[in-house]
Amino acid sequence: DPATGEVLALANLATDPATGGVGNSTKNTAVTDNYEPGSVNKVITLAAALEEGLVQPDTKVTVPDHLQVSDHVFSDHDPHPTEDYSVTRILTESSNIGTITLGQRVGAKRLEELLRSFGFGARTELDLPGESRGLLSSSDDWYPTDLASISFGQGIAVTPVQLGAR
């Protein structure tokens, strides 16, 4: 229920490899399986930068085509010249580099705190058997490139229900 967040129904189907038939699954993949949230996580990073008062939707950020962080070079999906993007444009164009830049402004410790406040790294209150906490390590243990990759949704993992509940 979008108004309350209450889960009204939850079903998992599986295909029988022998017959090709579809039926109920004994594995509740909605709460057991983890995946990287990818670009969905950009919204959280942008929200963190807004919440911290570091930017406004029209704030301009210089966004190059690629960015070296420690020993890794990150890039946007489509090549482009260095340009000033508004925070709104960073989101609408799903810019990895723009999001990394905002994540760096927020900082690792604060980004981790905000991810945890969204429930990442913790089980939901559904109390279903086998539910995963997802994967979110302490920012104290992050490698130099982790802030960058986590800013745009790589290097962490969530369950479908965890992401949907937020």
Name the residue among 159, 155, 124 with its Cα closest to residue 141: 155
β-bridge pairing 60-63 and 83-86: antiparallel
Strand partners, 73: 68
Phi, psi of 118 (to 5 degrees): -80, 0
Q: CA-to-CA distance for 43 and 140, rounded, in angstroms?
A: 23
149 is annotated as an active-site residue: no
Strand partners, 24: 13
Active-site option among 39, 86, 94, 137: 39
Name the residue among 86, 37, 83 with its Cα closest to residue 59: 86
Residues taking part in catalysis: 39
